[in-house]
Amino acid sequence: MTVIAQETSVTYISTGSVGPYAFNFPISTSAALTVTVNGTLLASTAYTVTPVNNNYDNGGSVVLVSAPSAGQTVVLQRSTPLTQTSVFTDNMPTPMQTFENALDKLTEIAQEQEAQIAAGGASGKQYFAAGPGLILTGAGTITSPFTYSLTTGFAISSFSGGQAGELGQSFTNPSFAATYSSTPTGATITNTDSVDSPYTLSSPYTAATLTGTFSHSTTTTTTFTLTANYGVISPTATQTFTWSERIFSGVGTAGATSSVTASGSTAVLSNSTVLSSSGLGVESVGQTFGPFTPSGTAIYLLLNGSSHTFTDALSGFPMSFNSPITVTFVNQYGVSLTMYLYQTTNSLTGTFQPKVAS
């Protein structure tokens, strides 16, 4: 037969009849025709296919075993098997009809593939997938072809919002800000406390305010991870909230006892000496305090360690401190801590800068 360019499917709206439903395109065998009702593919036992004039060159008709409901869509679709069944051997008679049948089958397959591409691809088949570094757009059809763009170089330029606090301090509804080398297609923030996590940012994905309170009474770090999506690229950046003990230092009259109270971010000794904050976190070897300028008074350090030795960072000479007094210190957020109050052995006059030697 001659296979001319034509449709490879026909659609009917059922009136509640089993058929017949005619098709006028050629098929190689009845197995090359599929029937769907309302998108459901029917088994070959659910219908019979009858050719026109005892062959399928001019199509045929389908009669269903069960009538679909009125208004349902019935689609007859040619789907030629992608096989080659002809066998040729040396010195055999020239089988012209076999050649023609094979060419007919190839033409039918080509027509079906063209129809699939025009419709955006056959169900269950993927014709193009974006790889790393690509953004894929379009429907993959003739009228809306796939296009892609490179995402090379996309990055999170900045991510801010981290905070450091004293043990027991609360951070409520914290805000974060981000910038990018290009506008991403989406972004989320997760955190290790699982508070309002994951949080989905809104376009242009540069600002976020999480709903909830973050607070810890032990030394802790909460990590916030920003993930930005740009095509198949998903870089990340982090910020942290940290909670630490506060340490103190200052100058006052000698003779303070273990009675120490918090007043905001300062510590008040039993003799009313006020020690200022020297920062958050456990003191370390090499850390300095001051400089201080006592005048016949003592230098005090309220620290976490109980066995430090000190030098004067200004002169390099050792500094003598009494054995530390153990203090139960309740900080401004109500967290009870064991700390150690150091006092210089002698009253001092001049300028000094204590340094942790060990």
Q: Of 83-92, 192-201, 278-287, which range is least confident?
A: 83-92
Closest CA to 97 of 107, 86, 108: 86
Check whether residue 218 and residue 267 sit in a common domain. no
Tell me if 143 is assigned to some domain: no
Which structural domain range is residue 235 located in? 156-243
Q: Of 41-55, 164-178, 284-298, which range is least confident?
A: 41-55
Check whether residue 325 and residue 277 sit in a common domain. yes
Q: Which residues of 165-187 are buried (b: 16+ CB within 10 A; e: fewer)?
A: bbbbbebeebebebebeeebeeb
Give the tens place of pLDDT for each residue, 10-67. Answer: 899 999 999 999 998 888 888 889 999 998 999 999 999 999 888 888 889 999 999 9
Pure H helices in the chain: 96-118
Give the tens place of pLDDT for each residue, 111-131. Answer: 666 666 555 554 444 445 555
CATH, residue 189? 2.60.40
Check whether residue 322 and residue 310 sit in a common domain. yes
Tell me if 70 is assigned to some domain: yes
Pairing of β 236-244 and β 163-166: parallel
Check whether residue 84 and residue 59 sit in a common domain. yes
pTM (predicted TM-score): 0.59
Tell me if 129 is assigned to some domain: no
Q: What total number of domains does the chain contain? A: 3
